[in-house]
A and B are shown apart, each in its own frame.
Chain A
Amino acid sequence: MNVFIYDDFLKKHQKVVNNIEISLHKLNLNGKIIYLESVRNLFDAIKDEINNGARTIVAVGDDRTVNKVLNAMMNNPATNPPALGIIPVGAQNSIAQACGVINEREAGQILLARRMAEINVGKANKQYFLAQAKIKAKGTTIKIADFSINQTENGEINLINLPTKNCSTKNILVDPNDGKINLFIENGRNKYSAMAITELEIENGQEEKLLLDNVLEIETPAKISLSEQKINIIVGKNRIFNLIN
């Protein structure tokens, strides 16, 4: 059974949504629709759907929608966890693009093909993220095992799990299935630091917040690692990473 999670902002994209629904119907990809505006608690709604045997949970919206659905799914561990699908709508869809779901017109065919990738999920304190976490470098201290890292200049610290187009242009190789988070620190002058790590603690003394998947801000200090539980995500041929299987 498919469950489609519609984000609130889709009301502004009614024509696109109508086209999506026609396309899904033609492909016989029917299922239950849950409107985020009508559920009090997405966690409980997803829990019910998993208990009812949901096979695929599809986030219909942007990166924010994917992050909300991801967090609800990861907080509902199941024996046979459903796969996560994405139908991108709106402006910010870097996660869908990384997964090779370029637009909503191709999304139906990709869901139908059901090409699956099992990938790591990042965790920052109690919040999950799929693509990356980032924070301003100045004033930030990173503690890893027996050492600590500080950057003396402005710039940005990126913790990358799922490679985005930005990674490809900068020649950063990221494997979302290698059990590592890629720490990438830029200083704004095209100079960078990089290392692959399993866990770290990050703290900013200037009250800068850590931004997860470009949509969710959390306070520091934050402990960051990969969740023991991975997620199956439905991907297209044009995904930015390789499939292991």
Chain B
Amino acid sequence: MFKKDLKPESFKDVETIIGESIKVKGNFQGQGNIVVDGSLEGSLKTQGNVFIGAKAEIIGSVEAQEVIINGSINGNLLVKDYLAVGETAKITGDINCLRISVDTGAIINGKCQMGEGAPAPRNTDEE
């Protein structure tokens, strides 16, 4: 599981880092762990974990094993296991996850469905 204070110190654990001054447009698909500190317009999908930094802005859906959010996301979240929502996080979209923790100050506008039988949120990118 990710630690909340995760810092990408090397490529050993993190496959992809989208840095602060980076703008990504399109559908990003990975296999390993991804750190997002920049902006992403499109979908993000990985079999690994995703860490979304406080300055990150995502417009689109995110699908991953575990996700830690400190930044802003305007889109649906499909998290197969654990979702940690930090105090600076702002989520506008539906959430589907197995387990969740939400810090004081976090903003969530959307439906949240939990547990193994929960239906996946609609993928807004396919509409």
State which residues 11-38 of B face A: CB under 8 Å: 11-12, 14-30, 37-38
A146 and B27 contact, CB distance less than 8 A: yes
Contact A173:B11 (CB < 8 A) given known A146-B26, A147-B28, A147-B42:
yes
Residue A244 CB within 8 A of the other chain? no
Measured between beta carbons, the chain B residues less than 8 angstroms from A182 are 11
Closest 10 CB pairs of A and B: A147-B26, A193-B19, A195-B16, A153-B21, A146-B27, A187-B21, A173-B11, A194-B17, A150-B23, A193-B22
Task: Give chain B's interface residues, CB within 8 Å of chain A.
Answer: 9-12, 14-30, 37-38, 42
Complex Cα spacing A182 to B18, Å: 13
Residue A40 CB within 8 A of the other chain? no
Q: Please classify how large the interface on chain A is, using the bins under 10, 10 to 19, 20 to 34, 35 or more.
A: 20 to 34
Residue A191 CB within 8 A of the other chain? yes
- The distance from the CB of B12 to the nearest CB of chain A, in whole angstroms, is 6
Q: Which residue of A lies closest to B39 (CB)?
A: A152
Q: Most chain-A Cβ atoms within 10 A of its Cβ — which of B22, B28, B29, B38?
A: B22
Measured between beta carbons, the chain A residues less than 8 angstroms from B22 are 149-152, 185, 193
Contact A193:B10 (CB < 8 A) given known A147-B25, A147-B42:
no
A171 and B10 contact, CB distance less than 8 A: yes
Contact A147:B24 (CB < 8 A) given known A172-B11, A193-B38:
yes
Complex Cα spacing A194 to B19, Å: 8
Contact A192:B23 (CB < 8 A) given known A147-B28, A171-B10:
no
Q: Which residue of A lies closest to B34 (CB)?
A: A195
- The distance from the CB of A174 to the nearest CB of chain B, in whole angstroms, is 8
